[in-house]
């Protein structure tokens, strides 16, 4: 799905870094939070709740837990509290995490 | 009779007050529950949700029996809550474990359970499991665990949904719950009944007054001539992120609510009215959880808090009627969740003094006078 984002990445001095989001290559300036990078990348939901509802980053300050994604194999990572890094492997968080880590997908 | 006059006024809108209200409303009484301020010490909002018998009353038979009856009454109580409130409190009484990493501690606790068993026979049942037994029964238990005790009667509910279900049930039965209603004084009226004054200056009349305000009852209880000294005991707990998998056990220190989050707790400290959490205690809880079930090491803690238990001097419930002021009652206990099934049923008969009243003499506060004199 490709939903246009209502957010824009401001021009930054930082070097661009690249990471993948569910396999798709995303570029963002260094120093950007992963949540901001995902919001400007797409208007699509970045996670699904336990009941299958779509969610994206909301509070941007570590409180609401709506920006959860899997980062380099670690589930339920708060994207707003994580800076983008080159080569990061990011996946949508689908439902609750399992006890032993990893994800449904 | 003014609009602000009720037959029975319950001071305290937590688990204990609301449970007692439910019972009285079902007996046809008009009941008003006065719930305090948000800033009050609210044990009911910090509670762990255990419906638990292990160890309770091991050297005090009346409490062992009372707890056994409460556990047996929970299924019916839970069904009633769902009927009245539309909320499923997720009662799970599939049995509970106490895990041990110290063999001496386990032996001591097993001895206590034997005492409990001797008081109440088949109302209680327990097993003592060796490390081998335990590892055969449950996958993923840590190597440091030397064994466990198990009772098939133990279990838990979803603690926050339970509090909400209680409140909605009281309202569904026609009870009134007034919020932000801090009672500052209870004055006996000469020809019977009581005048209550609230912090905002409102006054309130009642024929009977039940003090169920936990730690908030201390001053009012003394004013009404009750002798029980209630003290706070701090417990701290950790809440993890929600998990898709179910933990393969319920224990009194590690349990997973139906929504997936794991609660880790069980600490005890005397810290006065200070309910803040402390780093070393939280670290100890996390260490304990990982020792018992190593897979939890990878799970995030997302919240932690301290809360104050409501403790009588000997830790047992107090059900007392004022000798000086007819119609004033004190109901206080630590295990408000476990005992709720009785507070919402047969305790009504005790308050109403019917022929079906349970014998609660052992829980009267005169036991403190006697022990003081000894």
Nearest to B243 among A65, A99, A104 (CB): A99
Tell me how far apart the alpha carbons of residues B368 and B145 are, in angstroms, rounded to a whole number: 39
Contacts of residue B32, defined as CB under 8 A and 6 or more positions apart, other chains included, come to: B6, B8, B9, B10, B175, B176, B177, B178, B204, B206
Let me know: does B150 contact B129? Beta carbons within 8 Å. Answer: yes
- Classify each residue of B189-216 as buried b or exposed e, where b means 16 or more C-beta atoms within 10 Å of its C-beta: eeeebbebebeeeeebebbbbbbbbbbb
Any chain A CB within 8 A of the CB of B139?
A: no
> Residue B87: which pLDDT band, with cuts at 50, 70 and 90?
very high
Query: pLDDT tens-digit profile of B271-326?
Result: 999 999 999 999 999 999 999 999 999 899 999 999 999 999 999 999 999 988 99
So what's the ipTM on this one? 0.80
Residue B360: the pLDDT is 96
Enumerate the domain spans of chain B.
2-48+161-229+314-373, 83-155+231-311
Number of separate helices (H) and strands (E) present in chain A: 1, 7
> Residue B97: which pLDDT band, with cuts at 50, 70 and 90?
very high
Residue B41: the pLDDT is 85
Lowest mean pLDDT among B193-207, B212-226, B358-372: B358-372
Number of separate helices (H) and strands (E) present in chain B: 10, 17
Tell me how far apart the alpha carbons of residues A76 and A82 are, in angstroms, rounded to a whole number: 12
- Between chains, do A50 and B260 touch, taking CB under 8 Å as contact? yes
Residue B373: the pLDDT is 47
User: SS3 for B16?
Assistant: helix
- Between chains, do B244 and A98 touch, taking CB under 8 Å as contact? yes
Architecture per CATH, B2-48+161-229+314-373: 3-Layer(bba) Sandwich (3.50)
The answer on pLDDT for B372 being more than 60 is no
Tell me how far apart the alpha carbons of residues B242 and A98 are, in angstroms, rounded to a whole number: 9
What pTM was estimated for this model as a whole? 0.91
Torsion of CA A49, A55, A60, A64, to 10 degrees: -40
Q: How far apart are the first and last CA of chain A?
A: 17
The answer on pLDDT for B103 being more than 90 is yes
Q: Among residues B5, B82, B94, which one has the least CA distance to residue B51?
A: B94
Tell me how far apart the alpha carbons of residues B10 and B20 are, in angstroms, rounded to a whole number: 8
Q: Among residues B116, B101, B105, B119, which one has the least CA distance to residue B151?
A: B116
Stretches where chain A sits below pLDDT 50 are: 102-105
Task: Determine which of A75, A77, A78, A97 to mutate to test the interface with B (most B C-beta atoms within 10 Å).
Answer: A97
Query: pLDDT tens-digit profile of B178-191?
Result: 999 999 999 999 88
- Between chains, do B298 and A101 touch, taking CB under 8 Å as contact? yes
Nearest to B245 among A50, A65, A99 (CB): A99
Which stretches within chain B are classed as H helix?
15-26, 61-85, 103-120, 131-137, 159-172, 218-223, 279-292, 340-343, 346-352, 366-373
Q: Among residues A15, A22, A3, which one has the least CA distance to residue A84?
A: A15
User: SS3 for B185?
Assistant: strand
The answer on pLDDT for B135 being more than 90 is yes
> Residue B2: which pLDDT band, with cuts at 50, 70 and 90?
very low
Which stretches within B225-345 are classed as H helix?
279-292, 340-343
> Residue B39: which pLDDT band, with cuts at 50, 70 and 90?
confident
Pick the CATH number of B83-155+231-311 from 3.30.9.10, 1.10.3720.10, 3.90.780.10, 3.30.9.30: 3.30.9.10
- The residue length of chain B stands at 374
Show the tokens assigned to B4: 């602000």
Show the tokens assigned to B257: 């609510």
Tell me how far apart the alpha carbons of residues B333 and B329 are, in angstroms, rounded to a whole number: 13
Contacts of residue B261, defined as CB under 8 A and 6 or more positions apart, other chains included, come to: B239, B240, B241, B242, B243, B302
Residues within 8 A of A (CB atoms), B 289-308 only: 295-296, 298-300, 302
Tell me how far apart the alpha carbons of residues B255 and B154 are, in angstroms, rounded to a whole number: 12
Architecture per CATH, A3-83+90-94: Roll (3.10)
Show the tokens assigned to B37: 């301020």
CB contacts, 8 Å: A76 with chain B? 241, 300
> Residue B371: which pLDDT band, with cuts at 50, 70 and 90?
low
User: Could you tell me the maximum CA-CA distance found in chain A, to the nearest angstrom?
Assistant: 41
Residue B125: the pLDDT is 83
């Amino acid at each position: 799905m490709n939903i246009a984002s209502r957010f824009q990445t401001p021009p930054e001095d930082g070097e661009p870094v690249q990471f993948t989001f569910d396999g798709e290559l995303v570029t963002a300036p260094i120093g950007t939070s992963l949540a901001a990078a995902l919001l400007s990348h797409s208007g699509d939901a970045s996670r699904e709740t336990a009941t299958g509802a779509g969610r994206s980053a909301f509070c941007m300050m570590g409180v609401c837990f709506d920006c959860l994604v899997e980062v380099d194999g670690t589930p339920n990572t708060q994207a707003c509290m994580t800076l983008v890094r080159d080569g990061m492997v990011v996946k949508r968080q689908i439902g609750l995490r399992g006890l032993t880590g990893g994800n449904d997908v | 009779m003014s609009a602000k006059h009720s037959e029975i006024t319950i001071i305290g809108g937590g688990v204990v007050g609301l449970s007692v209200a439910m019972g009285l409303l079902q007996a046809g009484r008009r009941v008003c529950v006065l719930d305090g301020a948000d800033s009050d010490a609210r044990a009911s909002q910090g509670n762990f949700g255990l419906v638990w018998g292990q160890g309770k009353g091991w050297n005090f038979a009346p409490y062992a029996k009372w707890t056994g009856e409460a556990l047996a009454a929970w299924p019916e109580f839970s069904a009633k809550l769902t009927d009245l409130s539309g909320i499923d409190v997720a009662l799970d009484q599939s049995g509970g474990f106490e895990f041990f990493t110290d063999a001496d501690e386990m032996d001591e606790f097993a001895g206590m359970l034997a005492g409990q068993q001797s008081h109440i026979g088949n109302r209680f049942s327990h097993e003592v499991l060796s490390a081998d037994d335990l590892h055969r029964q449950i996958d993923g238990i840590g190597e440091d665990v030397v064994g466990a005790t198990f009772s098939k009667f133990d279990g838990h509910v979803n603690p926050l949904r339970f509090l909400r279900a209680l409140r909605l049930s009281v309202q569904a039965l026609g009870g009134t719950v007034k919020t932000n209603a801090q009672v500052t004084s209870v004055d006996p009226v000469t020809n019977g009944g009581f005048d209550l004054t609230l912090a905002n200056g409102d006054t309130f009349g009642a024929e009977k007054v039940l003090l169920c305000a936990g730690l908030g009852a201390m001053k009012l209880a003394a004013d009404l001539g009750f002798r029980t000294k209630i003290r706070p005991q701090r417990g701290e707990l950790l809440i993890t992120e929600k998990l898709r998998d179910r933990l393969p056990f319920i224990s009194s220190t590690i349990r997973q609510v139906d929504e997936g989050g794991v609660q880790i707790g069980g600490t005890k400290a005397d810290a006065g009215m200070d309910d803040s959490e402390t780093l070393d205690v939280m670290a100890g809880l996390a260490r304990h959880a990982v020792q018992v079930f190593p897979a939890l090491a990878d799970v995030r803690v997302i919240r932690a808090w301290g809360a104050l238990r409501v403790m009588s001097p000997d830790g047992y419930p107090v059900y007392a009627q004022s000798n000086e002021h007819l119609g004033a009652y004190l109901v206080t206990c630590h295990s408000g969740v476990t005992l709720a099934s009785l507070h919402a049923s047969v305790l009504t008969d005790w308050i109403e003094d019917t022929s079906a009243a349970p014998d609660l003499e052992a829980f009267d506060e005169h036991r403190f006078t006697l022990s003081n004199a000894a």
